[in-house]
Amino acid sequence: MQRYEKFYIDGEWVEPLTPSYSELINPTTEAVFASVAMGGVEDVNRAVAAARRAFETYSNTTLDERIALIDRIIGAYEERLEDFAVAIAQEVGIPVSARAQVMGPISHMKVARDLLKTYPFESRIGDTIVRREPIGVCALISPWNWPIQTKVIKVIYALAAGCTVVSKPSVNSPISAILLAEVLHKAGVPKGVFNLVNGSGRVIGEAMSSHPDVDMVSFTGSTGAGSQVGQAAARTIKRVCLELGGKSANLVLRDADLEKAARWNIQRCFFNAGQSCHAPSRMLVHESQIEQVIPYLIDEVSKYRLGDPHDPQTTMGPIVSKAQFDSIQRHIQSGIDEGARLIAGGLGRPKGIQRGFFTQPSVFVGVTPEMTIGREEIFGPVLAVLPYTCEEQALEIANDSPYGLGGYVFSGDPERGYKFASGLRAGRISFNGAETNSLTPMGGYKQSGIGRSMGVFGLEEYLEIKSVYGFAERERQIAGQ
């Protein structure tokens, strides 16, 4: 059994001040495969102090120096791609075939690097100089469902801005975080600029969020946990960026290509075993077209191959943990009990699988907005298909949610599609299955979060704005020399 006993603080691998250990369970085998050191408040204090010291010098590095650093990080990361793929397959059950999980971070790092070449860190409004400066020490708390990409996005934009970092991964995915710390160390990130502490959200997350020497907190996870982070951060009045839960709706208008909409919805909703906050887990179809769309949904679900995530042929691995597996089973049971019509999947493991936290990809039709599966975020491969009678009702149902992370529209008419996209109260809208990209902002409305990540807007989460008055004459003199 592997044993991970150290944290990365101030450029070194150090033992926790008050060590305790947590066992990691492989979701495919249900067997313990590793133990990881868990930290305490004093470990957070040590990491924050290192980041605060490092900020004094790192915040003054030149843009060229940061660009060169990110290039070195990209190079060191690319050398470890297979290690990352194997680690996340083992710790959270993500198939090695899901290349976006390990390849996606490269694109995000390149976008952040290239922004440094063009972003106006200093501009003018009349005779006033407006400067954008690094905000300071950043506490970065990342989830298990995208364990590498989400962490890389947070870290790379913080470093690009000139900030220093204290990072905490999910208790379910600490090994991939340790690998990333090794990558950053090899790339020559200056001591104290990046620090890693493993531990629970209740202890480490709370200590990071409320720490008086932390200037900003970026958290990705559940809405409930995000609320706790926000409350803790409010005690010392710091900036908070939250990417939280979702119950995204896919509006399939009557003139849409039903087959394309159905197949795409299954693919996008069930990607990563449905463990995605942007998953279109509500599909809204006109009541007259429900029976037409069912065969496409069933056929697309049947294409998934569930099994060992280390097998390149596997397209869906297990759920991350028994607790999450049990939650998904309860939601499937609630759909049955509340009268929805199950057309694919169901309770229990898939046929032929005797162990592991595997759940059947499931689809319900005849779901109403009041049903549990029509309202709550399930975070598993469960799709709720809701009928609507008119398009105004469809938009009303889509927006009748405490969440507003993603939204999707399918229509044969781009003008009508754009109208409905404009009416959706959500942070990212995709038309006819259009792909997202690394340049544009990601974030949510309502209880899906605060702030944005990625691209220019993501960089600005890590910057303060300073207005500087009285230097207009100096600027004119310099310009005239």
Predicted confidence at residue 19, as pLDDT, reads 80
Please name the residue that has the structure tokens 């781009």.
Answer: 414
- Is residue 481 assigned to a domain? no
- Does 441 fall in a domain? no
Give the model's confidence band at 471: pLDDT under 50 very low, under 70 low, under 90 confident, else very high. Answer: confident
Percent of the chain past pLDDT 90, that is, above it, reads 96
**Do residues 269 and 174 share a domain?**
no
In-domain check, residue 440: no
User: Is the distance from CB of 264 to CB of 283 less than 8 angstroms?
Assistant: no
Are residues 253 and 375 part of one domain?
yes
Q: Are residues 196 and 261 in the same domain?
A: no
Same domain for 196 and 147: yes
DSSP codes, 82-107: HHHHHHHHHHH---TT-THHHHHHHH
Catalytic (active site) residue 277: yes
Mean pLDDT for 454-469 is 97
Cα dihedral 374, 320, 245, 272, rounded to 10, equals -80
- Of 91, 206, 243, 391, the active-site residue reads 243
Tell me the pLDDT tens digit for each residue of 254-279. Answer: 999 999 999 999 999 999 999 999 99
Partnered with residue 250 across adjacent β-strands are 283, 408
**243 is a catalytic site residue:** yes
Whether 336 and 381 map to the same domain: the answer is yes
Which is catalytic among the residues 138, 163, 277, 377?
277
Q: Give the pair of three-digit tokens for residue 215.
A: 């200037």
Q: Please check whether residues 189 and 135 belong to one and the same domain.
A: yes
Q: Residue 347 maps to which CATH number? A: 3.40.309.10
What is the C-alpha to C-alpha distance for residues 325 and 170, in angstroms, rounded to an integer? 17
Q: What is the β-pairing status of strands 282-286 and 216-220?
A: unpaired
Distances (CA, A) of 350 to 79, 304, 333, 362: 36, 11, 16, 11
pLDDT of residue 1: 82
- Residue 474 falls within a domain, yes or no? no
For residue 387, is pLDDT > 80? Answer: yes
At residue 472, does pLDDT exceed 80?
A: no
Using the predicted structure, report yes or no on whether residue 186 has a pLDDT greater than 90.
Answer: yes
Domain count, the chain: 2
Cβ–Cβ under 8 Å, residues 364 and 383:
yes
% of the chain with per-residue pLDDT over 70: 98
As a whole number of angstroms, the distance between CA 271 and CA 100 comes to 11
Question: Residue 83 pLDDT > 80, yes or no?
Answer: yes
Q: Please determine, for residue 480, whether its predicted confidence score (pLDDT) is greater than 90.
A: no
Domain identity same for 298 and 409: yes
Q: Report yes or no: 345 and 332 within 8 Å, Cβ to Cβ.
A: yes
Domain with residue 98: its CATH number is: 3.40.605.10
pLDDT at 369 over 80: yes
Query: Would you state the pLDDT for residue 18?
Result: 84
Domain co-membership, 324 together with 343: yes
Is residue 75 domain-shared with residue 56, that is, in the same domain?
yes
What mean pLDDT do residues 347-368 have? 97
Q: Are the CB atoms for 368 and 402 separated by under 8 Å?
A: no
pLDDT at 479 over 80: no
Closest CA to 247 of 333, 372, 147, 144: 372
Alpha-carbon gap, residue 325 to 335, rounded angstroms = 16
**pLDDT recorded at residue 474:** 67
Residues 326, 461 within the same domain: no
477 within some domain: no
Mean pLDDT across the chain = 96
Question: Looking at residues 204-230, what average pLDDT do you find?
Answer: 97
The answer to whether residue 479 sits within a structural domain is no
Tracing tokens 């887990």 back to the chain, one arrives at 281
Question: What is the average per-residue pLDDT within 122-138?
Answer: 95
Q: Could you list the residue range(s) of the whole structural domain that residue 424 is in?
A: 249-431
pLDDT at 340 over 90: yes
Same domain, 82 and 159: yes
Residue at 436 is within a domain: no
238 and 262 part of one domain: no
- Report the C-alpha gap between 392 and 395 in whole angstroms: 5
Closest CA to 383 of 371, 374, 391, 392: 374
Within-domain flag for 424:
yes
